Amino acid sequence: MVDLHVTLSGVRLDNPIIPASGTFGYGYEFAELYDINCLGTFSFKGTTRAPRFGNPTPRIAEAPSGLLNAVGLQNPGVDKVIAQELPKLKEVFHKPVMANVSGFSVEDYAYTCALLDKEEQVGWLEVNISCPNVHSGGMSFGTSPQAAAEVTRAVKAVTKKPVYMKLSPNVTDIAAIARACEDAGADGISLINTLLGMRLDLRSRRPLLANTTGGLSGPAVFPVAVRMVYQVYEAVDIPVIGMGGVSTAEDVLELMLAGATAVEVGAANLVNPFACRDILAALPEAMEKYGINSLSEIIGGAHHG
Active-site residue set: 131
- Rounded distance between C-alpha atoms, residue 294 and residue 86, angstroms: 33
Distances (CA, A) of 116 to 44, 111, 153: 12, 9, 17
CB of 164 closer than 8 Å to CB of 125: yes
- Rounded distance between C-alpha atoms, residue 214 and residue 199, angstroms: 9
Stated length of the chain? 305
SS3 content of the chain, % helix, strand, coil (to 5): 35, 20, 45
Q: Which residues pair with 215 in a beta bridge?
A: 69, 196
CB of 244 closer than 8 Å to CB of 191: yes
φ, ψ at 25 (rounded to 5°):
55, -135
Contacts of 242 (CB under 8 A, 6+ apart): 191, 225, 226, 229, 255, 256, 258, 259, 260, 262, 263, 264
